Amino acid sequence: MKIYIVRHGQVPHNALKQYNTTDEDLTDFGIKQAEELRDKIKDMKFDIIICSPLKRAKHTADIININNQKIIYDNRIKERSCGNLSGKPLEVTNREEYWNYNTTIKYGTSEDIKLFFNRVYNFLDELKTKDYENVLIVAHSGVSKAFSGYFEGINDGKFLNRGLKNCEIKEYEL
């Protein structure tokens, strides 16, 4: 089974370089990014689209779903909760450490990275049991980092630079 993961288009907290847990929608630029991605993948065929239930992912999925495929929403591929870091500049944490799988540092009430990865891994393990050929997943940067760990290994545990950019797509074989 081929899995294609897409990160949603830009949202205000991306542009402001802030942590955010609010369910915000795409910016005008984020919509443009999704439209460009739609044009790039318009000839690809997917059995199903599985999407995070957050507005930014849903809106991206709606834009790129040129063939009106069925969309399933799954809470396990929601972004990692940053808890009480929401609305704060990214610089309030050591970003390398925040996305270090092996860290012992706890940043406020943010979701533990190992628990977050396990949530995403549970989703991928269940997906293995399905009979699909091509699956499009619309999610978040953190989810793409977890995918990287699942398919490419934890390695040194550093995931800061292993996530997708807005409306970037990556293919994996499951």
pTM for the structure as a whole? 0.97
Radius of gyration of the chain (CA): 15
In the prediction, which pLDDT does 135 show? 98
**Any idea of the CA torsion for 72, 75, 81, 86, to the nearest 10 degrees?**
60
CB atoms within 10 A of CB 71: 16
Structure tokens that stand for 99 in this block: 């996305």
What is 9-43 written as a DSSP string?
Answer: PP-HHHHTTB---S-----HHHHHHHHHHHHHHTT
Number of domains in the chain: 1
In the prediction, which pLDDT does 21 show? 74
Q: In DSSP terms, which residues pair with 172 in a beta bridge? A: 3
Question: Tens place of pLDDT for every residue, the chain, 174 residues?
Answer: 999 999 999 999 999 999 987 899 999 999 999 999 999 999 999 999 999 999 999 999 999 999 999 999 999 999 999 999 999 999 999 999 999 999 999 999 999 999 999 999 999 999 999 999 999 999 999 999 999 999 999 999 999 999 999 999 999 999
Provide the CATH number for the domain around residue 34.
3.40.50.1240
Structure tokens that stand for 19 in this block: 């942590």
- Residue 50 domain boundaries: 2-173
In the prediction, which pLDDT does 22 show? 85
**Beta-sheet strand order (sheet of 71-73):** 71-73, 48-51, 134-139, 2-7, 169-173
Q: How far is C-alpha 144 from the chain's CA centre?
A: 5
